[in-house]
Amino acid sequence: MSKNIFLIGFMGAGKSTIARALRDEYGMHLIEMDEQIEAQEGMTISQIFAKKGEACFRALETRLLEGLEGEENTVVSCGGGVPMRQENVAAMRRSGTIVYLSAAPETIYERVREFHTRPLLEGNMNVEYIESLMAQRLPNYLSAADITIRTDGKDARAISAEILQSVMQHD
């Protein structure tokens, strides 16, 4: 696979898990945006939000994406808020195929409820909040996506095979 794949979708949609499956099954390079930003800043995402603010975090995301041109055979696991900025969508489009991983709010809740690494969900850990933030973001996810893959009830191997097949057919 010479092209890059950008996995977008809500927190807990399975982007990191699927990105690892694409690396392990198909030998793609992996970029996990949150991890890369944490390593670069020497802080967790929660610390960046608390100490530098969300706007700073969003600027770091954009800078990372804009620096990816020239990459090949890479799967990028994007933070859930990435498609909310048009410059991010443009940067992804320039260097690869954008795949939206969808999941029902109930599925998301089950996947994220035990974790306290996502500042936007702290104090909001319930299906209603997830549903309303997802509804707000859905138009951006859908308009950014070249391909949409439903993840509910499927395992990582099946999803990664489906992604690869769809990406190859896409252009």
Is the separation of the CB atoms in 101 and 8 below 8 Å?
A: yes
Considering only 30, 104, 120, 161, the residue that binds ligand S3P (CB under 6 A) is 120
Query: 117 vs 165, which CB is nearer to ligand S3P?
Result: 117
Residue 118 makes contact with ligand S3P by CB under 6 A: yes
Instruction: For tokens 């859905």, name the residue.
Output: 138
Query: 11 vs 167, which CB is nearer to ligand S3P?
Result: 11
Residue 119 makes contact with ligand S3P by CB under 6 A: yes
Q: Where in 43-82 is the site for ligand S3P (CB under 6 A)?
A: 45, 79-81
Lay out the site mask for ligand S3P across 24-43 (x = CB under 6 A, - = otherwise).
Answer: ----------x---------
Residue 99 makes contact with ligand S3P by CB under 6 A: no
CA distance 147 to 98: 7
What is the CA angle 9-10-14, rounded to 5?
70
Question: At its nearest, how many Å lie between ligand S3P and the CB of residue 46?
Answer: 8
Residue 83 makes contact with ligand S3P by CB under 6 A: no
Measuring CA to CA, which residue among 22, 117, 26 is closest to residue 75? Answer: 22
Query: Which residues are near ligand S3P by CB under 6 A?
Result: 11, 15, 34, 45, 79-81, 118-120
